[in-house]
Structure 1
């Protein structure tokens, strides 16, 4: 029996999945963030813990894994790979490969070997592969290097909007009531003082309040989400044009919790508009399975065989809940 292992090391969690040649899940693991850029030792430990959990559940050794594929946030440049390669090599898999997490999200979201992926989870990233196999990544290096948004920034945008409405620099917003209730404060003054005095940062989960407020017609929240959509649209256009895919038919895969779980059309409308302008034959699809599934599919393909239909079908319905 052959076994394949896939890892998704993201900005907030690390998932590992092991399947056999029938596509049956035999082991799974989960841990914390797996991005070395957020802390090398923490990422190293979390990846090791997640992989070890999956191997233990499967009752397998590393030598019994036919191929392991690691899709890691922060695997962007050669500088990163000089750090990541030794980290993954020490895990002891005989056959493995590493790529950025954008590629496992793209593979999980389309049945074609090419396309574009836009990620908006904790952070943002975008990348594409042309029909000729050319790869291009646009962004993924944080705000000073051209990016905007993702949950890690949107929660700050929401917090900032409340402060600006309170001190008179912005119009009133429904975010005020929602944020105070979410964080357990009686007033903006109390929240302001506590955060400033103790150097706190708004928690990631408060990004969801932007969607709650926007659904109630709040113009401040709607405006913030519009900017997120426009920025992702610009990234899509940049990838499409750089790869010369304007006349091609392909999927633009949306991945990450902000664009796959956020309610309403507050972000997607602007992405659609930008994509249609750049590539009229492209189709926008939401990622329906966890990116770690794409890592498993790539592990199978990297082992030297075409992905069997049974493995593809077995994993298409894997959800985030099933990986915990």
Structure 2
């Protein structure tokens, strides 16, 4: 038996093909898989390309796959499901399921899928499910509708703050040196002129990596930006917990953190602030960063859907990560 899984985000899409023990046999990547970022046609085209490339490596086709789970950023509302249903059906897989990436990420760090899932990649999302069957989503719809976390948000704040620092409206920051270099410019003035000449309205989410680098070098401004993001992520987790309306007394509350900002970045200032906010408001909270990539959550969900076992979640506890620093 073969099962497929797709993790589609605002920057890239990853597909894997697994066997009946949920072991990955093949994988492939393609471009944007979030229809809210690149449109339905392009996102589904990239999803199909990633799957077909992974299958081609095995000499297989969609007819050989028992089930596919699509874990797609932006698939948050019934209206999103309606937009995606027919295009995904046209990919040719007989049986498949669709959820947002946040739900699959929650499965990545829990045995039963009950807990709080916080995604912080290009964008952000927060979901939760308790043992009583209640499900909640908080955020996931961008800055205008309340989101202040994710790589895009961090990059935008970094650029904004670097301009203010250069002009003397904020304290000095290493960002004023590092950001121009990333665009091939010698200084902030040249970078500002480039932004004005080209009419920039946003900046690449990849600038978030520079914030992490500056923070690692002790830049106070960058550390503050990451602490603010930890605060936002913590507030989202607490909001989900409260809206769920209850949790069995004395039972651990898994808080699963996924996405590149937390899984790859693991910045101690961000994580410490996040942990502080969560543990003050959620009894028995257990903050976890999965050691598997997000697409594995989609694979676990696919295996669950056809009654397969064989892949157990694995994670690092945030408390252990912080104790190492």
The CA distance in 2 between the partners of 1:177 and 1:50, in whole Å, is 38
The answer for the alignment partner of 1:216 in structure 2 is: 217
On the 8 A contact 1:118/1:236 being kept in 2, the answer is: yes
5+ unaligned residues in a row in structure 1: which ranges?
318-324
Q: Structure 1 residue 246: deviation in Å?
A: 7.6
Deviates more, 1:56-65 or 1:188-197: 56-65
TM-score (normalizing by structure 2) = 0.91
Superposed CA offset, 1:193-242 (max 9, x none): 01111124432221112122222332211221111111111100011111
Deviates more, 1:39-48 or 1:96-105: 39-48
The CA distance in 1 between the partners of 2:183 and 2:279, in whole Å, is 40
On the 8 A contact 1:246/1:280 being kept in 2, the answer is: no
Residue correspondence of structure 1 range 235-250 to structure 2 within 5 A: 235-243=236-244, 244-245=246-247, 247=249, 248-250=251-253
The CA distance in 1 between the partners of 2:199 and 2:42, in whole Å, is 22
Superposed CA offset, 1:96-147 (max 9, x none): 1111110111111222331111111101111011112221110000011111
The CA distance in 1 between the partners of 2:216 and 2:302, in whole Å, is 40
Match of 1:280 among 283, 289, 297: 283
The count of aligned residue pairs is 311
The CA distance in 1 between the partners of 2:267 and 2:82, in whole Å, is 41
Q: Structure 1 residue 24: deviation in Å?
A: 3.6
The CA distance in 1 between the partners of 2:107 and 2:23, in whole Å, is 19
Match of 2:257 among 248, 254, 258: 254
Structure 1 position 55 matched with structure 2 position 55: yes
The answer for the alignment partner of 1:125 in structure 2 is: 125
Residue correspondence of structure 1 range 94-133 to structure 2 within 5 A: 94-133=94-133
The CA distance in 2 between the partners of 1:316 and 1:270, in whole Å, is 23
Q: Structure 1 residue 27: deviation in Å?
A: 2.6
On the 8 A contact 1:67/1:299 being kept in 2, the answer is: yes
The answer for the alignment partner of 1:321 in structure 2 is: none
Q: Structure 1 residue 316: deviation in Å?
A: 6.3
On the 8 A contact 2:177/2:188 being kept in 1, the answer is: no
On the 8 A contact 2:177/2:187 being kept in 1, the answer is: no
On the 8 A contact 1:121/1:151 being kept in 2, the answer is: yes
5+ unaligned residues in a row in structure 2: which ranges?
316-325
The CA distance in 2 between the partners of 1:274 and 1:245, in whole Å, is 18
Q: Give the aligned CA root-mean-square deviation in angstroms.
A: 1.8
The CA distance in 2 between the partners of 1:50 and 1:142, in whole Å, is 26
The CA distance in 1 between the partners of 2:114 and 2:266, in whole Å, is 28
Superposed CA offset, 1:38-78 (max 9, x none): 12222121111111111212222322211111111111111
Structure 1 position 179 matched with structure 2 position 179: yes
Residue correspondence of structure 1 range 1-324 to structure 2 within 5 A: 2-38=1-37, 39-200=39-200, 201-243=202-244, 244-245=246-247, 247=249, 248-303=251-306, 305=307, 307-309=308-310, 312=311
Deviates more, 1:243-252 or 1:131-140: 243-252
The CA distance in 2 between the partners of 1:112 and 1:276, in whole Å, is 22
Superposed CA offset, 1:260-291 (max 9, x none): 12243111112111221222212001121111
Q: Structure 1 residue 4: deviation in Å?
A: 0.8
On the 8 A contact 1:124/1:139 being kept in 2, the answer is: yes
The CA distance in 2 between the partners of 1:273 and 1:181, in whole Å, is 35
TM-score (normalizing by structure 1) = 0.91
